[in-house]
Chains A and B, each alone.
Chain A
């Protein structure tokens, strides 16, 4: 345990990194399947089944990353877990209701009598919307330091809308890769409609974060940090330009580059996330509690870490396996 230096330093750091990684994977993976849910009302009846089929084998495992992220917060930083979640009591409730509605609608829409299908489709959309909006809201509140003032709530409502549109964009990008024909053409149109959410969302968060605290401002706008960090906004800008250009070229008749927008969107999410992580480090509760103060006992963290080192590669491995098995264009979902 002492090999790497003081375990009270490197263990919290490792766990913060693991938690960050889980959140990022969650935002990307559940982001696209929430996004597909958000697009439901835009699709016609036949397309709706294909939309659901494109995420059917994956959504369950995608959501598990949220459980892992919140679990890591819970186990590695217990006091922070309590503070963050009690401060976000109401949006958490709305998100959970959304996730419940969405998860069960997946099953019910396929199994309930056909006359009820419209209702379950509506529940599927409503659940996706509630989950996306509340996640965006929580993101905004977190950036604003988890205090409920009018201006903070207003900012959080903005991020709620932007993240929701951003999710619908990555959902559309997923569909561009995962579908073909008329539906693919629709997905391209949806992506064109959703890209502004991505731009405004990334822009708003990037602009607002440094002005929340002088500490974060100095982390970004002092030399030489500013120069080292400059690739981050430049790369993000380049990705947005690429996305803008690419979705005006798609769909191509030979299906070339149909995964381009999805891959670029992933990178963009990752860059934005990296920027945020840099801003808030070392705090887990913004400007209040650092990861080092909130960390659980090193003995306990160490025993989780040992397991994680064995298990996480396995999880990643069979996740990749699952995406490999269900590779290619989405087909009808069936149990046999």
Chain B
């Protein structure tokens, strides 16, 4: 394998590992704020129990996100120097704003949020929780701005092959940004909803009847059921936006080789890159035309339009885009069915008495958000190839001249660590759930939530 492919795999591995954790922390920060506010408002201990359990997951996820994020910031230089040399004038300020307005905010206030509850007033702690959640969301915003600009660049001019910014408003609010941002926030919300529902279901299966577990199960199922239709709508709009700006990507997603009307929606196929056709096609007639153009005779772009006269292929490899898109959509449909089914069962039997089979299903789907998110990112990122910045810079032009053996060595190193850490991460979350199910205390401090507790604390002789 050559340096280019190895570097792509290495970057892909790093960013795949990284995105798992922000996907959890972005939404979980807000969820923790919600638990905290519920506790502040009601004084009900179950909300504090929920907070104390999930804040551990948050801390763990946050640490994983920070360390893998640091890796990302170095990879630009070690593996892709051409990226900053060419588009640094746009990417630089966006990354700088990300670090300054978001990274520091979340990192500093995280310390107060995690360990400061006994040292600051309650409102300061709630404020710190808010700032951490806000910081992670701001972080997402800037990164999505940069990523979207790489898909739909505008507001720049080229001078001697180097990008210079001309209009920052156009750069930040580039055409695909709003869609991608909403799509990612919803993805994070869904990932967390299913994680909370799944782990709560697991605890119920283990016989944990705590009020906080029922409440978090309810919270996860309801949030999932609310967000998934919104996500399907957002995804559809994002797809139409992609059709307008990156038709080659949509052609690969649909596995459509020839531009034309009445293009079927393929449920399955094996794209053959050599023969430039699909094998074993199973599809719904005119389905893709209907989805993308809202009429059966709608013309859908085909991949053959993106081959230059000299035979240079200017579209992505079809199979990875085609399949990861189907994995994402398939997971989304499973989420829709499960969360709505779960909602029905919950209304009928109550959160504590749901059929065991449904609890097993939720447990199995605990990390389904990860699968959908990764598949979605693979679709959009591989779908942009051979471009790194659409129409401006190809991936090949940006790669560093590092010996392939060196890249392979470090790649194997990263993969080994990441595999071990994912196993440890899931194992520890399961362990924490197991421990909580056994009724071991989540925290040692008595919370003066109600007057009663405060009086209790004042009793002498304790």
Residue numbers of A with Cβ under 8 A of B are 56-58, 60-61, 63-64, 66-68, 70-76, 78-79, 81-86, 88-90, 92-93, 96-97, 99-104, 106-108, 111-113, 296-297, 299-300, 303-304, 307-308, 311-312, 315, 318-319, 321-322, 325-326, 333-336
Contact = CB atoms under 8 A, between A and B. Distances in A.
**Chain A interface mostly:** helix
A63 B76 contact: no
From A73, A88, A103, residue with most partner B Cβ within 10 Å: A103
B6 interface: no
Given A64-B104, A322-B108, A326-B115, A108 B67 contact: no
B401 interface: yes
A95 B93 CA distance: 26
Q: Which 3 A-B pairs have the closest CB atoms?
A: A82-B81, A75-B92, A85-B77
B459 interface: no
A284 B437 CA distance: 56
A320 B127 CA distance: 17
A108 B428 contact: yes
Given A75-B92, A96-B71, 13 more contacts: A64-B99, A68-B100, A74-B76, A78-B88, A82-B84, A86-B401, A90-B406, A100-B421, A304-B93, A307-B101, A334-B115, A335-B115, A336-B443
A93 B413 contact: yes
Nearest to A68: B99
A85 B84 CA distance: 12
Most buried by B among A83, A99, A100, A308: A100
A102 B68 CA distance: 12
Contact of A93 (B81, B120, B164, B410): B410
Most buried by B among A56, A61, A96, A307: A96
**Interface majority SS on B: helix, strand, loop or mixed?**
helix
Given A86-B78, A100-B417, A300-B165, A325 B88 contact: no
A64 B139 CA distance: 13
A304 B115 contact: no
Contacts of A99: 67, 70-71
A97 B417 contact: yes
Given A75-B96, A311-B100, A297 B52 contact: no
B336 to A, nearest CB: 33
A74 to B, nearest CB: 6
A112 B428 contact: yes
Contact of B96 (A58, A61, A71, A106): A71
Nearest to A101: B417
Interface residues of B, number: 74
Nearest to A62: B107
Contacts of A112: 424, 427-428, 431
Nearest to B117: A336
Contacts of B100: 68, 307-308, 311-312, 315
27 contacts: A60-B111, A61-B111, A63-B66, A67-B69, A74-B76, A74-B84, A74-B92, A78-B81, A78-B88, A81-B77, A82-B77, A82-B85, A88-B78, A93-B413, A96-B74, A97-B414, A99-B71, A102-B67, A107-B64, A108-B428, A296-B89, A303-B165, A307-B96, A318-B105, A318-B108, A321-B108, A335-B117
Contacts of B421: 100, 104
A73 B88 CA distance: 11
Interface string B426-460: 01100110000000001111010000000000000
A57 to B, nearest CB: 3
Contacts of B444: 334, 336
B71 A296 contact: no
Given A112-B431, A318-B108, A325-B119, A71 B93 contact: no
Contacts of A303: 93, 165, 168
A336 B120 CA distance: 11
A336 B118 contact: yes
Interface string B276-310: 00000000000000000000000000000000000
Contacts, number: 231
Interface of B: 48, 52, 55-56, 59-60, 62-64, 66-71, 73-74, 76-78, 81-82, 84-85, 88-93, 95-97, 99-101, 103-105, 107-112, 114-120, 164-165, 168, 400-402, 406, 410, 413-414, 417, 421, 424, 427-428, 431-432, 442-445, 447
A111 B104 contact: no
Given A61-B107, A74-B88, A334-B115, A104 B67 contact: yes
B103 A64 contact: yes
A321 B128 CA distance: 12
Contact of A66 (B68, B70, B84, B401): B70
Nearest to A95: B74
Nearest to A98: B67
Given A78-B84, A315-B100, A299 B89 contact: yes
Contacts of A108: 60, 424, 428
B443 A81 contact: no
B76 A81 contact: yes
A75 B95 contact: yes
A54 to B, nearest CB: 11
Contacts of B442: 336
Contact of B64 (A64, A78, A104, A299): A104
B214 to A, nearest CB: 21
A103 B421 CA distance: 11
Contacts of B410: 89-90, 93
Contacts of B116: 57, 325-326
Nearest to A57: B111
A86 B413 CA distance: 17
Max chain B Cβ within 10 angstroms of own Cβ: one of A64, A74, A79, A335: A335
Contacts of B81: 78-79, 81-83, 85-86
Contact of B73 (A74, A79, A86, A321): A74
Contacts of A57: 111-112, 114-116
A105 to B, nearest CB: 9
Contacts of A336: 48, 52, 117-118, 442-445, 447
Contacts of B110: 60-61
A312 B116 CA distance: 23
A319 B104 CA distance: 9
A335 B107 contact: no
Nearest to B86: A78
B112 A325 contact: yes
Contact of A78 (B78, B85, B443): B85
A70 B103 contact: no
A63 B70 contact: yes
B2 to A, nearest CB: 16
Given A67-B73, A315-B108, A336-B445, A300 B93 contact: yes
Contact of A84 (B77, B88, B431): B77
A107 B59 contact: yes
Contacts of B89: 296-297, 299-300
A60 B99 contact: no
A300 B96 CA distance: 11
A291 B414 CA distance: 33
Contacts of B401: 86
